[in-house]
Structure 1
Amino acid sequence: MPSMPKGILKTGQTEKIDLKNEALFNTKGYIDGSWVSAKSGKTFEVFNKATHAKLADVPDMGKEDTAAAIQAAAAAFPDWSSKTAKERSQLLTKLFLALEENALDLAHIIVAENGKSLTEAKGEIGYSNSFIDWFAGEAQRAYGHTVAPTLPGVRQNIILRKPVGVVGLITPWNFPAAMVTRKLGPALAAGCTMVIKAPAETPFSSLAFGHLCEKVGIPKGVVNIVTCAKGETEAAVGKELCENDIVRKLSFTGSTRVGKLLMKQSADSLKKLSMELGGNAPFIVFDDADLDKAVAGAMACKFRGSGQTCICANRIYVHESVYSEFAKRFAAKVDELKFGYGMDEGVTHGPLVNQAGVDKVQQHVDKSVGAGAKVLVGGKKGEGFFFEATVLTDMPENCPMDTEETFGPLAALYKFTSEEDVIRKCNNVPVGLAGYFYSQDVSRCWRVADALQTGMVGINCPLISQAVVPFGGIKHSGFGVEGGKDGINEYLVNKLTVWGA
């Protein structure tokens, strides 16, 4: 069985994060260049997800605080947007170097607030910083273009690329650093100013970025960060970002349900939107796959972040001829995992982020077993927010994973008989974010990659996210992209100028 921690909980105690640069750890919101409390004076507690020790109280900000942050961003927009692309690029490069210099401390913050292992947190910081590096370059490549005129008396048509204005950025807890830089980087590069709503579960990474933005010289009001607790104040913050007409663009990463709500709330202000929403990623192992590579790929793809990523494999389809062998090898690898506090020696994986996540995994296990599935590995809760890495086999039809993300360390192995059959099952969901498959048949690789109804496909490759390529889904997984050469376009608008002869 995968190693699970015992006696790890330190509820009621206070924990200090081990940082070389203690200035990175901030417990106030950041508005108009100042570190501020909520206007209401309210706070909420943030705790270590592995030990449940208290980290700090942070401001529980609401509508009034968010409106002030929006006004600060609006006041800063004329100056920031009028800077040359090179000036913005140079500041982004300085920010990248500051992030690299503080990489280990930033990883320690992630371990404490999110629960990831230190190895995973370091990996996230490398990925996170790459977006700032990439968009430092893209700032100088946001080209306009010309179009030959067709009207008499017109000498030239010139299409300019202009920043959209003040933007609202709503980021999730599962990648507390990377989901900030994936939005902040292109917004800054384009010349936008912003209000970031930090996730209630993991606000300290966002606040650390605010500190570094300040230190490298990004002007006050360009970056503003609002912290708020789950519930009424979070809803008020989100609604203000949606309904305030000063905010001309909203970028959200999170569930499909919340994304649809934010779209409805944004309708009257007709703002530009980017929605990176939920997925239900299929992972196919064909009969001609290299099983060792497929097993390694499934491990990386399923259990990264303890299964709490929107592109984690959620349904693992294995051809009937290799099903038993794959399950055996896969279970052996799962047995090697070690769960615990991310700073402890040898820990590979951490807890889930909250009790609701634990309950959902247990529900998916119970319902699947009740329908006829068998537990090959795991299947039980641990202390606190820990859940055993679990492998289910002999999956019947109509289990919870067929229609919804588990978002936890549960691998469900389905058996299939033909390529046509598995493609039909993979596509029989309303979402389409990522999909993966393993095969050594080149023709099949092209055919299946084309047939999968997802925005991204990994072919014999479990890790697809890179700053240099677009990240985004189709169907109910949302629209818009982050990263790649198109990422900056989400924060730009076209402006046509027609020049008379």
Structure 2
Amino acid sequence: MQRSTSPLNLSNLVDRNAHFIDGEWVTSTSGALDVINPANGEIVGRVPNGGAVQAGKAIEAAYRAQREWAAMTPAERAVYMHAWAARIRDNAVELARILTSEQGKPLSESLEEAEGAALFIEWYAEEGKRAYGETIPALARNKRILVLPQPVGVTALITPWNYPGTMVARKGAPALAAGCTVVLKPASQTPLTAVALVALAQEAGFPAGVINLVTGKSSEIGEEFMTNAKVRKVSFTGSTEIGKLLIRSSAEQVKRLSLELGGNAPFIVFPDADLDAAVAAAVGNKFENCGQMCNGINVIYVHKDVAQKFSRKVTQRVANLKVGSGLEEDVQLGPVIDHRAVAFVDELVQDAVQKGAKVEIGGGCLTETPYQKGSFYAPTVLTGVTTEMRIAQEEVFGPVAPIVTFSSEEEVLAMANATPFGLAAYVFTKDVRRVFEVSEQLEFGMVGVNSASLSVPQAPFGGIKQSGQGREGGHHGLEEFMEIKYISLTL
């Protein structure tokens, strides 16, 4: 297996209008879906509008390939995975342009996402070699007790539109490292990045059927994933509403699920915090990917003693953000994914304003030139926000920073925990006691202390309550794709 010596022409590879099944690009006869650039409304590509039939064929291909892929040693599987990561790096610039063209984020963020995808694949290529079993002391001399981890089997991966590159790798890498074959269904808004990544996997030489890709009707494909008994595991990132439907439909076969669902992340700034660090982290997290991040800040809680100073500093930073097409030089904030998303963000902002919130900057859709053809929303800071406002209760998923003030540790913990969601939370303080006590009392699966960055390959990413089940990242992410087999041996 030779590493490519020069970048591929990914644009040609992406422009196939085909599914990838059993090692081949299969032309669709089921019509096509247009992929729209949210910065200008232009069509940037097309993918098949497939359904249950195509999903069923992909599952069959994965099922046929499963036995041999699982039989390989972890080191053998790692060779393919390292080759895949290398090709992603070789083609990072073109991959980033494809990602930005269909998703909208700045090219700099897309380049970081390409690198993140390569890192996840590389890390799991090595972590797969450490899927250790156990030998347990028996109660009799002629007994031996062995515990073996084994791959779950065929796995369906349903990835979201906000991180169409990283999420393919974050789900696919541990599944492949564990010995599972996969069928990938990317979000209909951003399928081209997944197509490009699968094309690079093909170039890396993965055996036929190990990686499969279908695009199209989410309801039909999802139903096939859930009802086909050959699919042993489904990993999904998306809304809590869809997650609940998957839980219900998994009951018939007791199908394994990993779910990363909605969030309502609090960002808490105590009066002893390094205010400049907190401001930089808040703006960096809240406006990354135009606020469309699962573990992104939803509400900023600031102690009343520093709230005015904090709000002023945040507003000054936000005022300097350059908004535009992600393909333009120095752009820091791209469009929201589509016009429906823009309308929802504005609905939450207007609800807050009507109930007394003050717009410090922004506060509306951007419709003038050069934004008129895209789905842009002005970067917004709101002060005077209260927990009764919808924007404090619902996931914003847009470039809006609502600021709520608090007076005590007990008060802010009560406000932050008063949500059915529990994905991520952030705390800024220099008090070591507070670091531990607040982190332990926050009802969230992840807590960032004096930092607002959480997603790394070696740590378990995931939530509690209605934010999901299971973890992605770390050895925990590998274990999500493995079953435990107990062998009792009599000599």
TM > 0.5? yes
Output the TM-score relative to the length of structure 1.
0.94
1:204-253 Cα shifts (integer Å, max 9, x gaps): 1111111111111101111110111xxxx210111110111110000000
Q: After alignment, is 18-27 or 104-113 more displaced?
A: 18-27
SS at match of 1:269: coil
User: How far apart, CA to CA, are the structure 1 residues paired with 2:252 and 2:59?
Assistant: 17
1:178 aligns with 2:166: yes
Q: After alignment, is 23-32 or 99-108 more displaced?
A: 23-32
1:287 aligns with 2:271: yes
Contact persistence 1:306–1:351 (CA under 8 A) = yes
State the shift of 1:25 in Å. Answer: 2.1
* Aligned residue in 1 for 2:91: 102
Find 1:166's aligned residue among 138, 143, 154: 154
* Aligned residue in 1 for 2:232: 248
Contact persistence 2:8–2:91 (CA under 8 A) = no
1:311-370 Cα shifts (integer Å, max 9, x gaps): 111010010010110010000000011111111122111101111210111001110001
SS at match of 1:485: helix
State the shift of 1:104 in Å. Answer: 1.2
User: How far apart, CA to CA, are the structure 1 residues paired with 2:163 and 2:70?
Assistant: 28
* Cα RMSD for the two superposed structures: 1.3
User: How far apart, CA to CA, are the structure 2 residues paired with 1:397 and 1:309?
Assistant: 21
* Aligned residue in 2 for 1:115: 104
State the shift of 1:154 in Å. Answer: 4.3
SS at match of 2:425: strand
SS at match of 1:497: strand
User: How far apart, CA to CA, are the structure 1 residues paired with 2:471 and 2:54?
Assistant: 29
1:218 aligns with 2:202: no
User: How far apart, CA to CA, are the structure 2 residues paired with 1:445 and 1:124?
Assistant: 30
* Aligned residue in 2 for 1:356: 340
Contact persistence 1:154–1:498 (CA under 8 A) = no
Contact persistence 1:190–1:492 (CA under 8 A) = yes
SS at match of 1:46: strand
Identity fraction in percent: 42
1:457-483 Cα shifts (integer Å, max 9, x gaps): 010001111011110100000110001
1:433 aligns with 2:423: yes
Contact persistence 1:480–1:490 (CA under 8 A) = yes
SS at match of 2:223: helix
Structure 1: any 5+ residue segments left out of the alignment?
Answer: 1-17
* Aligned residue in 1 for 2:395: 405
* Aligned residue in 1 for 2:369: none
State the shift of 1:93 in Å. Answer: 1.0
State the shift of 1:153 in Å. Answer: 6.4
* Aligned residue in 1 for 2:183: 195
SS at match of 1:341: coil
Output the amino acid matched with 1:330: V
Contact persistence 2:446–2:462 (CA under 8 A) = yes
User: How far apart, CA to CA, are the structure 1 residues paired with 2:48 and 2:390?
Assistant: 37
User: How far apart, CA to CA, are the structure 2 residues paired with 1:223 and 1:114?
Assistant: 23
1:475 aligns with 2:465: yes
* Aligned residue in 2 for 1:313: 297
Output the amino acid matched with 1:448: V
1:416-431 superposed matches below 5 A: 416-431=406-421
Structure 2: any 5+ residue segments left out of the alignment?
Answer: 1-6, 367-371
* Aligned residue in 2 for 1:273: 257
State the shift of 1:48 in Å. Answer: 1.1
User: How far apart, CA to CA, are the structure 1 residues paired with 2:116 and 2:198?
Assistant: 18
Output the TM-score relative to the length of structure 2.
0.95
Distance 1:19 1:327, change over 3 A: farther
Q: After alignment, is 466-475 or 91-100 more displaced?
A: 91-100
Contact persistence 1:28–1:37 (CA under 8 A) = yes
Contact persistence 2:363–2:381 (CA under 8 A) = yes
State the shift of 1:19 in Å. Answer: 8.0
User: How far apart, CA to CA, are the structure 2 residues paired with 1:295 and 1:188?
Assistant: 39
User: How far apart, CA to CA, are the structure 2 residues paired with 1:287 and 1:402?
Assistant: 21
Output the amino acid matched with 1:191: G
Total equivalences in the alignment: 478
Contact persistence 1:86–1:140 (CA under 8 A) = yes
Contact persistence 1:300–1:463 (CA under 8 A) = no
Contact persistence 2:45–2:192 (CA under 8 A) = no
SS at match of 1:29: strand
Output the amino acid matched with 2:269: V
1:242-280 Cα shifts (integer Å, max 9, x gaps): 111110000000111110111111111111110111100
